Chains A and B, each alone.
Chain A
Amino acid sequence: MTAETVRESAEEYDAIIIGSGMTGGWAAKEFCEKGFRTLMIERGRLVEHREDYIGEGKPPWEMPHRNKVAKEIVDRDYPVQQKCYALSDSSKHFFGNDRDLPYSTPDDAPFAWIRANQLGGKSVLWARQSYRLSDYDFGANAADGHGLDWPIRYKDLERWYDYVETFAGISGNRDGLEQLPDMQCQPPFDMSAPELAFKQAIEKQYSDRNVIIGRTANLTKPTELQMSLGRVLCQARDQCMNGCSFGAYFSTLSATLPAAARTGNLHIAPNSVVHSLVYDEQRQRVRGVRVIDNEDLSEREYTGRVVFLCASTLGSTQILLNSMSKAFPKGLANRSGVLGHFLMDHNYNSAAHAKVPGYLDTYYKGRRPTGILVPNFHYKPERYAKDFVRGYQVGGTAYRGGWQGKGWRDGFGESFKAGINQAGDWGFSTYSMGEMLPDYDNQVSLHPTLKDKWGIPQLHIECRWSDNEKRMMEASVVEQKAMLEAAGFEDVTARLRNEEPGLAIHEVGSARMGRDPKESVFNGWNQAHDVPNLFCTDGSTFCSTATQNPSLTFMALTARAVDYAAREMKEKRI
C-alpha cells in the first residue's frame, strides 16, 4: 500500500471520507482518481492486505482449538459478535471487541450490532452476495404506501451499477428477471446436480419462481484492470472472511484502496474515532471532523471541503446525532427530525432442510463461495401474498454430508473407522431473507448518560420485527417446505427462527433520503438537504430494504454521489 498515513494534519483536504469499508473505499477511489486530495479516516487499526490475514488458509490442525474460539475469549470479547456466522478463530480479529463497543437496547428488544472497526471494515467480512435493486424496489414504498418514496429510480443508478460491477468483479448469470436486473457479470459458479434438479422442478411447477446461482463478488475471469491491482482468480476456498491473498473477492483492501493509493492523492488517518462533525454556522457548511485518538484519547481535527460519511448505517447516524450546534440542536442535518428513525434490517427467521435421495455417485470439487437463490416472487403489489406486504427471497445450497457427525453411528474398531471418511447422503438447506418495512418507532438515539471510552454518547437501539415480518416468515416456512417437497426431496423440515434484528448485518434507513427536506435527511444525490457539502452514502440513506443484499447498491450510490459532488465542487457550488 502506498497511501501515506497521517496523525496531525494541517492540510485542508478536498474530500474527507469517514470510514474505510464498502462505501469509504469507493468514495476514496473515486475522489482520488478524479485528482482530489483525499483523507480517509478510520477509527481502528491499519490492516495490510495479505500480511495481516493471520487466519488465512490455516487447516484446523494449525489452529489451537481447531478453529473454534476459546470460550474464555468469546465470553470476554465477543458476546455479541459471536452471534455472527462468520466469526471463527481464524476471522475473529476482524470483529469489534464488545468490551469497547457498548450500546443499549430495551430489555425486550435485543439488537445485534456487528462491528468491524479496522481498515477495510465489514468489506473484509462480507458475504459478497451482489444484486441490483429493480424499479419494483425503488417504487415499492410509493406503490403500497409503506414508507417514504425513494427519490431515485433504477435509471438513475443503472450506469453506476454497470460501473461498480465492472470494477469489483461479480460472478453470475444473466437471468433475465424483471425483479432482479441483469448485471455486468463474470462467469457463474456451477450448480451441483441436486441444485440443477431443484431448479428444473421449481421452474416447471411454479410459474412465478426462478432458481438462479447466487451472484457473488468473487473473480471467475479477472480483467486486466483487476490483475493490475494484484487480484487473481478465485480459488474456491470459501474462506473469504479470513482475508484472501489472491485478492479474489472484492474488499476495500483488495480493490478500492490499492486503486486509490496508486493515484498518490490518498492520506489515511487510522486510529481516529470520529466524535462529531464541525459545523461552520456562518458558511452553513461542515468545516471538518473532530476525532478522538483510538489509543491515547487525545483530540484532533481534520478539515476539508466536502465530507462523506461512510461509517456504516449506525456509525454515521451516531456521528450525525452527536454533531450538535446552535443551528442543529437535534443532530447535524436533522431539521426534519427523522434522523435515527426508520432503522431496518433483513429478516432471516425461517429455514428449511431436506434429504436429497440419490446422486451418490456424484460429488463436487472445490468450496463454492455462493449458493443458489430463489428471487423474490412477491415483488409487486399484484403478486403480494394475502396476509403480508412485500416479499422475501430464498437462498440455499445442496451439500453432501461428510464426516462431521459420524460419531452418531454405532460401532467400534476397524469397521467403524472404515466408514468415517466416506461422504454421506445429499442434503438441501434453504433460508429466507425477508424485507422489513420502515417504521418510525424502530430508532436509535444517543443515550442520555452512558458514554464509551472515547467519551462519545452510546447508541440506544430500539428495533423490533413487526407483525408483517412475522407473518412473512410464517408463510416462508410453508413455501420453503413446499418447494423442497416439489423437488422430490425427503424428510423435509422447516422452522421459524427467533433471531433479533442486526444479524443480517444489512442495517439501513436511519438517515433516509427523500425529495422533501421536511421528511428526509439526504436528497437523491446522498447530499444533506441542510448542509450542501455533507454526503452520506452508506445504508443509512435507504428508504426501504428490498430483499436484496445491499452492498452493491451502497457501491453504486457512492460512485454516483462522488461524481455529483465533484461536479458541484468544480462549479464552485460547494
Chain B
Amino acid sequence: MPPTRRQLLKGLSAVLGTAAFAQVAGCGRDVDVALDYTPGADTEGRSGQLFSADALRLLRDVCAQILPTTDTPGAHELDVHGFIDNQLFHCYDAEAQALAVQLLDAIDAGARSRQGAPFAEAGHDAQLALLTDLERAAGGFSEEQRQHFKLLKNLVVFGYLTTEIGGTQLLAWDPFPGGFAGSVPYASIGRAWLGNVT
C-alpha cells in the first residue's frame, strides 16, 4: 500500500526515533513567517529557512537527478528544493529537520571523499553514481541513510506533483468532476488522478 502523507510523516517520526537534537535555528519563529515562501520562485543562491545556501544548491541538484527536465520541467526548475526547505521548516519537527540537514551533509561529504570536491561540482555522472549508492545503502552509505533518503525522495515527488505543472500536466486534475463513475477505462484517463491532497 503506498503510504499516505500522514503515514509518511509517522514513518519519518519512527525512523527518527528518539534521537535528541539541538533546536534547529528559527524553530520558534512566528507563524506568519509561514507565508514567506513564494511557490515558483527559484531560491537558488539564497540560503533557505532550514538549509544553508550550499545545502539548498545541493538539494537542487538532487531534485534534478530524481526528476530531470524532459518534455516537462525538472523538479529543480519548479523550485522543489525551495518547497522542501519550506515544508520541512514549517510542517516537520526539529528531529526531522536535523536529519534532513545531516543527510545533505552526508551526501556532500560522500562527494568530497570520492572526488575531493563538493557534490555540486561532481558532475552529472558522479552525482548519479553517488545517489544510486545511497539509495542502495552501498558505497559507504548506511541502511538508515538509505531510509532517510527515501523520505526525502518522497518529498521531492510530492513537492513536484503538487505544483500546478505537476498536478495538471503530469497528473490528471479534475476540479469539477460533475459526478462519479465507478468504472471507466484506464486508457481514457491514462494517468493517475491528482486527487485531494490532505
Are A and B co-members of a single complex? yes
Contact partner, B128, options A234, A235, A362, A412, Cβ 8 Å: A412
User: Residue of B at shortest CB range from A220?
Assistant: B179
Whether the Cβ atoms of A65 and B197 lie closer than 8 Å is no
**Cβ of A355: which chain B residues have Cβ within 8 Å of it?**
1
**A564 located at the interface, meaning its Cβ lies under 8 Å from any Cβ of chain B in the complex:** no
Whether the Cβ atoms of A407 and B153 lie closer than 8 Å is yes
**Cβ of B174: which chain A residues have Cβ within 8 Å of it?**
365-366
**B156 located at the interface, meaning its Cβ lies under 8 Å from any Cβ of chain A in the complex:** yes
For the complex, give the distance between the alpha carbons of A67 and B195 in Å.
Answer: 12
Whether the Cβ atoms of A412 and B183 lie closer than 8 Å is no
Q: Given contacts A404-B5, A420-B170, are A67 and B177 in contact (CB under 8 A)?
A: no
The 6 closest A-B pairs by CB, nearest first: A190-B182, A405-B2, A407-B154, A366-B177, A366-B180, A407-B153
Of residues 176 to 193 in B, which have CB atoms within 8 Å of A's CB atoms?
A: 176-189, 191-193
Q: Given contacts A362-B183, A368-B180, A405-B3, are A70 and B189 in contact (CB under 8 A)?
A: no
**Cβ of A408: which chain B residues have Cβ within 8 Å of it?**
2-3, 150, 153-154
The minimal Cβ–Cβ distance linking A67 to chain B, given in whole angstroms, is 5
Q: B interface vs A, CB < 8 Å?
A: 1-5, 8, 29-31, 34-35, 37, 39, 65-68, 70, 83, 86-87, 90-93, 128, 131-132, 135-136, 150-151, 153-164, 167, 170-171, 173-189, 191-198
The minimal Cβ–Cβ distance linking A37 to chain B, given in whole angstroms, is 41
Further contacts, 7 of them, CB under 8 A, given A71-B93, A404-B2:
A220-B179, A235-B177, A236-B179, A366-B178, A366-B180, A367-B195, A400-B192
**Cβ of A410: which chain B residues have Cβ within 8 Å of it?**
135-136
The minimal Cβ–Cβ distance linking B145 to chain A, given in whole angstroms, is 15
Q: Given contacts A66-B197, A412-B128, are A233 and B178 in contact (CB under 8 A)?
A: yes
**A414 located at the interface, meaning its Cβ lies under 8 Å from any Cβ of chain B in the complex:** yes
User: Residue of A at shortest CB range from B186?
Assistant: A363
For the complex, give the distance between the alpha carbons of A188 and B174 in Å.
Answer: 21
Contact with B along A155-176 (1 / 0, CB 8 A): 0000000000000000000000
For the complex, give the distance between the alpha carbons of A402 and B170 in Å.
Answer: 12
Whether the Cβ atoms of A407 and B196 lie closer than 8 Å is no
**Cβ of A68: which chain B residues have Cβ within 8 Å of it?**
5, 87, 91
Whether the Cβ atoms of B158 and A404 lie closer than 8 Å is yes
Of residues 352 to 403 in A, which have CB atoms within 8 Å of B's CB atoms?
A: 353, 355, 360-368, 400-403
**A237 located at the interface, meaning its Cβ lies under 8 Å from any Cβ of chain B in the complex:** yes
For the complex, give the distance between the alpha carbons of A14 and B126 in Å.
Answer: 80
The minimal Cβ–Cβ distance linking B159 to chain A, given in whole angstroms, is 8
Contact partner, B67, options A57, A401, A416, Cβ 8 Å: A416
Contact partner, A235, options B131, B132, B179, B187, Cβ 8 Å: B179
Q: Given contacts A237-B177, A403-B192, are A362 and B184 in contact (CB under 8 A)?
A: yes
Whether the Cβ atoms of B158 and A402 lie closer than 8 Å is no
The minimal Cβ–Cβ distance linking A421 to chain B, given in whole angstroms, is 4
Q: A interface vs B, CB < 8 Å?
A: 57, 59-61, 64-73, 76, 88, 189-193, 195-196, 220, 233-239, 353, 355, 360-368, 400-408, 410, 412-414, 416-418, 420-424, 427
**Cβ of B160: which chain A residues have Cβ within 8 Å of it?**
420
**Cβ of A414: which chain B residues have Cβ within 8 Å of it?**
68, 70
**Cβ of B159: which chain A residues have Cβ within 8 Å of it?**
66
A-B contact pairs, 15 of them (CB 8 A): A61-B162, A61-B163, A69-B91, A70-B90, A71-B91, A190-B182, A361-B187, A364-B183, A365-B181, A367-B180, A406-B157, A407-B157, A408-B150, A408-B153, A410-B135
Whether the Cβ atoms of A421 and B192 lie closer than 8 Å is yes
Whether the Cβ atoms of A189 and B155 lie closer than 8 Å is no
Contact partner, B189, options A59, A66, A193, A365, Cβ 8 Å: A365
For the complex, give the distance between the alpha carbons of A421 and B172 in Å.
Answer: 9
Contact partner, B65, options A59, A236, A401, A413, Cβ 8 Å: A413
**Cβ of A190: which chain B residues have Cβ within 8 Å of it?**
180-183
Q: Given contacts A70-B34, A421-B170, A423-B192, are A402 and B183 in contact (CB under 8 A)?
A: no
Interface centre among B2, B5, B151 (most CB of A within 10 A): B2
The minimal Cβ–Cβ distance linking B18 to chain A, given in whole angstroms, is 18
For the complex, give the distance between the alpha carbons of A235 and B175 in Å.
Answer: 9
The minimal Cβ–Cβ distance linking B52 to chain A, given in whole angstroms, is 21
User: Residue of A at shortest CB range from B175?
Assistant: A57
**Cβ of A234: which chain B residues have Cβ within 8 Å of it?**
179
The minimal Cβ–Cβ distance linking B125 to chain A, given in whole angstroms, is 11
For the complex, give the distance between the alpha carbons of A227 and B188 in Å.
Answer: 33
**Cβ of B158: which chain A residues have Cβ within 8 Å of it?**
66, 404, 407
For the complex, give the distance between the alpha carbons of A405 and B197 in Å.
Answer: 13
Whether the Cβ atoms of A422 and B191 lie closer than 8 Å is yes
Q: Given contacts A361-B187, A404-B3, A417-B68, are A73 and B31 in contact (CB under 8 A)?
A: yes
Whether the Cβ atoms of A403 and B157 lie closer than 8 Å is yes
For the complex, give the distance between the alpha carbons of A233 and B194 in Å.
Answer: 22
For the complex, give the distance between the alpha carbons of A402 and B1 in Å.
Answer: 10
The minimal Cβ–Cβ distance linking B88 to chain A, given in whole angstroms, is 10
The minimal Cβ–Cβ distance linking B60 to chain A, given in whole angstroms, is 15
Whether the Cβ atoms of B162 and A66 lie closer than 8 Å is yes
Contact partner, A402, options B93, B181, B193, Cβ 8 Å: B193
**Cβ of A400: which chain B residues have Cβ within 8 Å of it?**
192
Q: Given contacts A193-B183, A236-B180, A237-B175, are A72 and B90 in contact (CB under 8 A)?
A: yes
**Cβ of B170: which chain A residues have Cβ within 8 Å of it?**
420-421
User: Residue of B at shortest CB range from A407?
Assistant: B154
Whether the Cβ atoms of B1 and A353 lie closer than 8 Å is yes
The minimal Cβ–Cβ distance linking B35 to chain A, given in whole angstroms, is 6
Q: Given contacts A71-B93, A76-B31, A423-B191, are A191 and B177 in contact (CB under 8 A)?
A: no
**Cβ of A88: which chain B residues have Cβ within 8 Å of it?**
198
Whether the Cβ atoms of B67 and A424 lie closer than 8 Å is no
Whether the Cβ atoms of B179 and A363 lie closer than 8 Å is no
Contact partner, A72, options B1, B34, B154, Cβ 8 Å: B34
Whether the Cβ atoms of A412 and B65 lie closer than 8 Å is yes
